[in-house]
Amino acid sequence: MASTPGNGAVFLYILSVNPRFSLIIEKGRMEGRTEKPVLALGEVLVELMPATVGQSMAQAVRFDKFAGGAPATYAAAIVRLGGRAALLTKVGTDAFSAFELDALRAEGVGLEHVQRLPERQIGLCIHECINGQTSLVFYRRDSAASTLAPEDIDTQVVQSAAALHVSGTSMQISPSAAAACLRAIRLAHEAGVVVSFDPNIRNILGGEDTAKAVDEALGLADLITPTLEEAEAITGCSDPFAAARALKERGPKLVAVTLAERGAVLMGQEGGPVLCPGFAVNVVEPTGAGDVHAAATLVGFLQGWGAMRIGRFANAAGAHQVTAMGHLGAALPTLVEVEARLSRES
């Protein structure tokens, strides 16, 4: 413990299990200090949602726009939860791309590895949320991110990261993007950089080649964070405990099978799978909750926490995400908000 001299002493408690990643608590609030950033790789999107919550796409006459995409939400969540994060992707020079980058810049996400292509645009996702159920329509063909390729993956950038996160959706947008994701995962694995992989295979778009890429990623990842539906598709197990065990046999250090409002089943290096209960909240829009949950899971993993502590922390973060529209801004939880929810419901 250290304090500063003078009025209003500031007490710093430094938690540093992983030398690449540490958290500092200042005056009861955690502030992130990572020696190296978490690198989130893949497709970012601008999302359009009916301005009136609960309206369908067909009914809506006005839409609000939000910055989104799995790696964008994940990276921003890492920053909100006390870490540093950078994004590796491609966008266009169009107005929607500028909007996305402005939103990420405001969240403190590093954009030094983002390429802007004048001949391409960022992808768009239009969706509705009715009674807590989301339907999505994508406009992403020939998007800037679909041109991601192995040559875009810089060895030094990947191997100097605190961790690498890849979402399965980015492996589905094009064969070259799938190859880029695999190259990054292989490089990280070879260098001992933690690999976080969210399969996100509810709608496999790339056929057999994509399935093979996802399968290889599952075998190299340190963290795997599927929904129960995804875990069942991979393992054939509809029971979350059995699915967690089957995924753990592939070699990851931690598996987190998410169960929406019921919480998540986690299985780490010691003991069997454990059920980490969820939190009851008013669901406004659930898209992005899985990305926030995965980011919080990585934060806990890098701190060396046990499975139950990681699960409760991640569940609290994901619960906050569903209480507002969009992915960034008000929807993203801060570390203070997560800790407050855990304190209230401990």
- Each residue's pLDDT, cut to its tens digit, for the chain (346 residues) gives 333 333 332 323 334 344 444 454 333 334 444 479 999 999 999 999 998 888 889 999 999 999 999 999 999 999 999 999 999 999 999 999 999 999 999 999 999 999 999 999 999 999 888 877 788 889 988 899 999 999 999 999 999 999 999 999 999 899 999 999 999 999 999 999 999 999 987 555 556 777 888 999 999 999 999 999 999 999 999 999 999 999 999 999 999 999 988 999 999 988 899 999 999 888 888 888 999 999 999 999 999 999 999 999 999 999 999 888 888 888 899 999 999 999 888 7
Can 239 be counted among the known catalytic residues? no
Write down the domain spans for the chain.
34-344
Structure tokens of 212? 């093979």
Q: Are 228 and 258 in contact (CB under 8 A)?
A: yes
φ/ψ of 29, rounded to 5, equals: -120, 140
Please name the residues in contact with 208: beta carbons below 8 A apart, sequence gap of 6 or more.
none
According to the model, what pLDDT value does residue 17 have? 41
d(CA 1, CA 10): 10
- 229 class by beta-carbon count within 10 Å (0-12 exposed, 13-18 middle, 19+ buried): middle
pLDDT of residue 205: 53
Element (H, E) at 228: helix 228-235
Count of beta carbons in the 10 Å neighbourhood of residue 277: 15
Place of tokens 């608590």: 25
So what's the pLDDT on residue 4?
Answer: 32
Please give the pLDDT value at position 9: 29
Considering only the top CATH level, what class is 34-344? Answer: alpha beta
pLDDT at 237: 96
Residue type, 120: R
Selecting among 152, 198, 222, 291, the annotated active-site residue is 291
* Interatomic CA distance for residues 142 and 158, integer angstroms: 25
pLDDT score at 286 = 84
DSSP 236-249: S--SHHHHHHHHHT
Cα→Cα distances 283→6, 57, 289, 299, 323, Å? 46, 19, 11, 24, 5
SS3 258: strand
Q: What is the pTM of this model?
A: 0.88
Q: What are phi and psi of 26, to 5 degrees?
A: -120, 120
- Torsion over CA of 275, 277, 283 and 288, rounded to 10 degrees? -50
User: CA 166 to CA 39: how far, in whole Å?
Assistant: 9
In this prediction, residue 195 carries a pLDDT of 98
b (16+ CB within 10 A) / e for 302-331: bbebebeebbbbbbbbbbbbbbebbbbeeb
Place of tokens 């329509």: 137
